[in-house]
A and B are shown apart, each in its own frame.
Chain A
Amino acid sequence: MTTDSEFVKAPATMVAAPSRFAMPILPALSLAVMVSLVVVALFAPLLAPHSERHGQLQYSLEPPVFDGGTIRFPLGTDIHGRDQLSRVIYGARISVSVVLVILVFKTLIGVGLGLVAGFFGGILDSLIMSTVDILIAFPAFLLAILMAVIFGPSFLNVILIITLFIWPPTARQVRVEVLALKQQDFVTLARCAGSSNTRIMIKHILPGVIPTVLVITTLQVGTVILFEAALSFLGVGIPPPAPSWGGMVSEGRAQLTSAPWLSIVPGFAIFATVLATNTLGDWLRDRLDPRLQTL
């Protein structure tokens, strides 16, 4: 028998609540991808079969093993005869370090300023929050291009530029949490007991904002990777010959017809990494902080 769709909802009691920490297959898989990426990044020199920077010109544009190539270069070689597998492995190192450094910076700045703004209020709050509002309204990517060109493409500049545009959402969300936590009884109690402001912030309020920060940070991994990849693709990110995945796609594009794998493989590495972190982030958000739905 058929029924037209949506009408009577099943009573709420009939919908089983998912258990809070049981991890379904997809997030678990995503976590596995992320962990193996970090392992690959850590042990890149051991894992990479060849040098990532120096090629042998006689092996230029070897096809990958699944396209008639040899096991010597499993993912083929680029125009300079550099082994693509080794470059992708070292590329993981770049991505992981870019992400880690940026996220540490942005967490320090975002949590710090968010705490201060929410806790002290007043002029400080308005100042920090209008900076946040303006930065969020900025056409970040264009300014990033401009800055990258002017200050010169380098690892450090990429980090600084991306951090500049990525901390505001954390600060904004932390401030909201702090405003709520500030009203709680245990804060008043601590204040009555004579705790200093710094102590209250660190001991009593900071732990309360950790879940939110964790969710935002996981979700921002993808943003950072895509941001760096796009800058590198345009040639204003991590400078060659360092094997940034975005830069590799850009370089490989010149041989799109003769050697498509040079564009496919590094792009797929970006795609898979971002997919994994977003999946994990979505899951964490649903578990820890459903209010962040709109993020």
Chain B
Amino acid sequence: MSEEPRSPNADSSHLLEVTDLHVEFQTKTGPSRAVDGVSFYVDEGESLGIVGESGCGKSVTAMGILRLIASTGRIASGSVRLDGEELTELSNSQMRAIRGKKISMIMQDPMTALNPTFTIGYQVGEAMKIHEGVRGKSLLGRVLQLLRLVNIPAAERRVRDYPDQFSGGMRQRIAGAIGISTTPQVLICDEPTTALDVTIQAQYLELLKEVQEQTGVALVFITHDMGIVARMCERVAVMYAGRVVESGTTREVFRNPAHPYTISLLRCLPRLEGVERLESIDGQPPDPREMPPGCRFAPRCPKAQQQCHEAYPEFAPVSSGHHASCFFPGGW
């Protein structure tokens, strides 16, 4: 695969930069802020992990970047810049030219992410057909090349098969092939391995890493699994109740976690190669329509003080390049 020449960064130093993003859904009981002021960035060739429980807004953030939010929702404010270009201001057709070309995505569940009524060859080739106008023999060639890259055996024969003729692991690799088919600048991986068993999971992550080394694609991992972050990402952003509560380099955050929520997430990591104990966090995240006035984690936080229930802690530096929203960072 050849690397696309990239336009010079206009007024941003990062490849993808999300600033103060707000996404709102209309509900019968009023608007609900699923994403409430999220900021992060990712650079070329880099991997960022966005971590949090389901419902914390991480998937909505990803969809917000792609501007694919349900008709009941909208991006209320904030900016998403790709290569200096403001995505929130593009027309729908301009945005479509970016989707699948500059930003691509791998879905969580390989069993449902492929369309059962099209051959996998068609599905792998579709984005190249749309964005690069490749047709016929040369398209088939590119599709086969991709299928071989993701280790689909007998690709020539299987290109005309339908998804239900493949195993789960192969389907996920095919989904990966679709994600990288147009050599995007940013590839969002939404829980890309939760549906796979452990060995296949490891192979798959390895494959993504190889692709990244070859193409310089920036990877954004949306996950609840700190293990994947530790293995794949240089930097991590922890989300809770629609906001980023801690961010920094993976090494720093893992070594000196500042936010109690991050600490609980790290405790959920299975230790000693797997099965010793899984500690889950008590309680439920708050209802996005009725956010607590203070720190949103305070109702579940074992160390919460009066102060925590009254004001939202500023997102402040803990050490260089490491920020957290907590009045009592780390020291406990």
CB distance from A236 to the nearest CB of B (A): 48
In the complex, A130→B256 CA distance in Å?
73
CB distance from A4 to the nearest CB of B (A): 6
Which of B22-30, B116-124, B275-283, B309-317 faces chain A?
B22-30
A16 B92 Cβ-Cβ under 8 A: no
Given A3-B67, A4-B95, do A10 and B29 touch, yes or no (CB 8 Å)? no
- Residue-wise interface mask of B (226-244) relative to A, using a CB-CB cutoff of 8 A (1 in contact, 0 not): 0000000000000000000
* Residues of chain B with a CB closer than 8 A to A3's CB: 67-69, 71, 73-75
* Residues of chain A with a CB closer than 8 A to B75's CB: 1, 3
What does DSSP make chain A's interface, helix, strand, loop or mixed?
loop
A2 B92 Cβ-Cβ under 8 A: yes
Which of B55-63, B128-136, B193-201 faces chain A?
B55-63
* Residues of chain B with a CB closer than 8 A to A11's CB: 34, 55, 288
B70 A6 Cβ-Cβ under 8 A: yes
* Residues of chain A with a CB closer than 8 A to B28's CB: 15-16
* Residues of chain A with a CB closer than 8 A to B92's CB: 2, 4
In the complex, A1→B89 CA distance in Å?
7
Known pairs A11-B55, A16-B28. 12 more at Cβ < 8 A? A1-B89, A2-B67, A2-B91, A3-B67, A3-B73, A4-B96, A5-B70, A8-B68, A10-B34, A10-B70, A14-B27, A14-B288
In the complex, A1→B59 CA distance in Å?
19
A4 B67 Cβ-Cβ under 8 A: yes
24 A-B residue pairs with Cβ-Cβ distance under 8 Å, sorted by A, are A1-B74, A3-B67, A3-B71, A3-B73, A4-B67, A4-B68, A4-B92, A4-B96, A7-B68, A8-B63, A8-B73, A9-B70, A10-B25, A10-B32, A10-B34, A10-B72, A13-B55, A14-B25, A14-B32, A14-B288, A14-B289, A16-B27, A16-B28, A16-B29
Q: How many residues of A contact B (CB 8 A)?
A: 15
CB distance from A1 to the nearest CB of B (A): 5
B287 at the interface (CB under 8 A from A): yes
